[in-house]
Structure 1
């Protein structure tokens, strides 16, 4: 049996989606908004009448190679057109029976990549196994780097990528029932920058969190950075440095020239942070940093949370952030230095702030469970590094085959065993029939 294509009628217009051979529907690159360069996203206002082909790989935001290819493999974006004009799109993977009002739980995935790389439609994020369990899954692409998070006075606001994500959630509210999804039962899920974005959406003015999603799963959010970005004025300093490199109006620069500007900024960072490009507190739609905790508390009181980290989340970043990284190649001493830095980055950026977030949610009467993911590939040498938990939940067959973090004997069996356990937890969480626990550990 081969894949075929079938029509789906959306409120925004008819589309042609892939009907996969195992009764899964996959609609790729559905536009949820439009936006000329450096402008806020505008919802699709007019219904298209001609059938839109949503069977091919979706366009992605222009970007440089991922700095995490050393653990994830890649390039994972191969086969996708990079298009500034067409990257505000999402993909839906769902049970093939898409009769409206099936009221299936909806999962929304916001990818990581430090707000500078990645896309929702990548094969490594395809949620096939979750769709097989009756979940309607949406993976979102949004503007990155200089296109979404670098402000220019009088030209570009700073949080365009965050506004894109909010607009995608609004599109889901209006359109997901056409795929059998329940807009009243939406779980947002994100890893790293994607998890950071979800927390920012909780704090955002005018988001109406409870009108957009009802639960959140947060994988390795670098929570320490949200307040640091405000205290250290990272966004303002980044804009100032960018202006030093400009030779013409950024509105007139080519995509290649803007990416070269981004490369220069990353090579000469204003701060040693996990994420240099990111949502800026105090800039629309985010409140000032002193109001963050209050707005988060209001949100988590009614939004159940599953939040966690990997045992060695800091491994890929230890060399990027340690002034002693040049000594890592030394016998004995190098491995000790790297281990200490990995421990410190893991704890200070991921584990400790996640526990604090969990405690604050429970303090206001919210429901929250933490977890630690400790599995590691026997042949990777990377431990339980950042991103290693994703293949246990997401990914088309073979999508993670070249990932260095997954090397080792027995990996395929471990993914099947542990992946089934984690997906079972997620599905129960999304359906509201999970048992809240203080802490979980996946090994």
Structure 2
């Protein structure tokens, strides 16, 4: 019986040691550094090394508090190491496509190379990590895709924004640096640097929209296609219109008693907790990229930048039928939850269902459909799909994040997720997973979907 072994991959910055699994015919390299950044500093290129760097063990994620969606997804980060030195990525690639002798730095399509997926996780910019077991893309790699999952700075570490201390949008700059690394190094894993698809869910999808409009390297030089899962598109403009970033900074300055550059990690996370407990306004994402702050344009230039980008970058947009369910009480304009209205028999369940419908439509599906129409208006290509499956024993319905396990995740990684509880889930994961992965892989290979809208149930 074949056993997992190690192999050496030559990269532009130096050789790494990766795992090879003959059983699944995949190669897995974890925690490859793509940049380095002291606290509150922009990412800088990593220094070269000569000895083989061990990339066979789990990589740390950005320091964070427990996710607000643990009641939906389960404790996915439990026991995982956290560190500010977290600017790393992991690569899962087909083993039967041997790595090249040296990295290839070009963007020309090469039929001998494989399509590349770069995953930006969600978590409202305050939780998650690229090297978590729940995001391992083993089945996509088995279908001939080179997959990259990225870890970047979150919360106060990536989006605090204090004049002269902490620039805004550091996490977004991290993501762009990771894409530049992919362009320069991915051919060493058999991936095509000219056929990169950026894929993001929730905050990860929000990031990709921002990267389309960012200054510096043109988005089409960083990725050729984009898959957006449950993008909270309404948030981007509201953050700018309501000056959320400036208000967040003012509130943070009022809570600080000393220079945050000298505070330890626990103190910074305590600051973040206080800001989240007393938010600037009730929104999905308090920490997030800010328009008008480098590398993002001002709000009046945002649409122009997006229009110029989407004409060249095909888009696939998906959402779930009950995306808003986990946020229905958080985003409660009438304060029904604080009155205990949701606890009233029958009336409470009706009110919660109505609130779920409103949040799902206003924050996720309607803005996604508008963006789809916007892309097509500028001669771009776009297809949408709705994910409508729900577990038989879950009261969460087809909620936010429920579609991820159908595409990503190591074996057993999602076992504790309440959103998946039910006796028929395993069979449905296989049935619907094959359909969605087939859609994704075809899209990445350039096999365009003829229908404008699809539904998975």
TM-score of the pair, normalised by structure 2: 0.95
Q: Please tell me whether residue 31 in structure 1 is matched to residue 33 in structure 2.
A: yes
Structure-to-structure mapping, 1:210-225, within 5 angstroms? 210-225=220-235
- 1:313 match: 323
Give me the whole-angstrom Cα distance separating, in 2, the residues matched to 1:196 and 1:398. Answer: 28
Report the Cα offset of residue 36 of structure 1: 0.5
Secondary structure of the structure 1 residue equivalent to 2:328: helix
Q: Identify the residue that residue 268 of structure 1 maps to in structure 2.
A: 278
1:428 aligns with 2:429: no
Moved more, 10-19 or 161-170: 10-19
Question: Which string of whole-angstrom CA distances, capped at 9 and with x for unpartnered residues, describes residues 119-176 of structure 1?
Answer: 0000000000000011000000000000000101111111000000000000000000
Tell me, yes or no, if the aligned pair for 2:342 and 2:349 is still in contact at 8 Å.
yes
Answer whether contact 1:64 1:259 (CA < 8 A) is retained: yes
Structure 1 length normalisation: TM-score? 0.98
Q: Does 1:259 find its partner at 2:269? A: yes
Partner Cα separation in structure 1 for residue 56 and residue 182 of structure 2: 19
Rounded to whole Å, the distance in 1 between the matches of 2:403 and 2:24 is 25
**2:9–2:99 contact (8 Å) kept in structure 1:** no
Compute the displacement of 1:6 (Å): 1.6
Q: Residue in 2 aligned with 1:93?
A: 92
Which of these residues, 320, 324, 345, is aligned with residue 331 of structure 1? 345
Deviations 1:408-439 (A, max 9, x none): 12111111011000100101000002323210
Which digits, 9 at most, give the CA deviation of each residue in 1:297-320, with x for residues without a partner?
A: 111101000002100000000111
Deviations 1:70-95 (A, max 9, x none): 11011x113421110x2000000001
Unaligned runs of 5+ in 1: none
- After the TM superposition, which residues 13-92 of structure 1 pair with which residues of structure 2 at under 5 Å, given as runs? 13-20=14-21, 21-44=23-46, 46-74=47-75, 76-84=76-84, 86-92=85-91
How many residues are aligned here?
440
1:175 and 1:80 map into 2 onto residues whose CA distance is: 27
Deviations 1:267-302 (A, max 9, x none): 000111000000000000000011111111111101
**Alpha-carbon shift at residue 9 of structure 1 (Å):** 1.2
1:414 paired with 2:414, answer no
**1:352 matched to 2:351:** no
Unaligned ranges ≥5, structure 2: 105-111
* Separation (CA, whole Å) in 2 of partners of 1:210 and 1:434: 18
Deviation at 1:210, TM superposition (A): 1.1
What is the root-mean-square deviation of aligned Cα atoms in Å? 0.9
Residues 383 and 449, structure 2, Cα contact 8 Å, conserved in 1: no
CA contact (8 A) 1:57 1:79 kept: no
1-structure distance, mates of 2:173, 2:351: 40
Residues 1:283 and 2:285 are matched in the alignment: no
CA distance in 2, matches of 1:224, 1:207: 25
SS of match in other structure, 1:385? coil
Poorly superposed stretches of 4+, deviation over 6 Å: none
Deviation at 1:214, TM superposition (A): 0.4
Look up the SS of the partner of 1:107 in the other structure: strand
Q: What SS does the aligned partner of 1:43 have?
A: coil
Rounded to whole Å, the distance in 2 between the matches of 1:99 and 1:147 is 35
After superposition, the C-alpha distances for 1:340-382 in whole angstroms (9 at most, x for unaligned) are 1100000000001000000000001000001110000011111
- Secondary structure of 1:321's counterpart equals coil
Give SS of 2:319's match.
strand
Which of residues 168, 171, 181 is equivalent to 1:161?
A: 171
Q: Distance in 2 between matches of 1:124 and 1:54?
A: 19
Deviation at 1:47, TM superposition (A): 1.8
**Which residue does the alignment assign to 2:451?**
437
Q: Render the CA deviation track for 1:372-397: whole Å, top value 9, x for unaligned.
A: 10000011111000000000000011
* Deviation of the 1:244 alpha carbon: 1.0
Q: CA deviation at 1:12?
A: 1.1
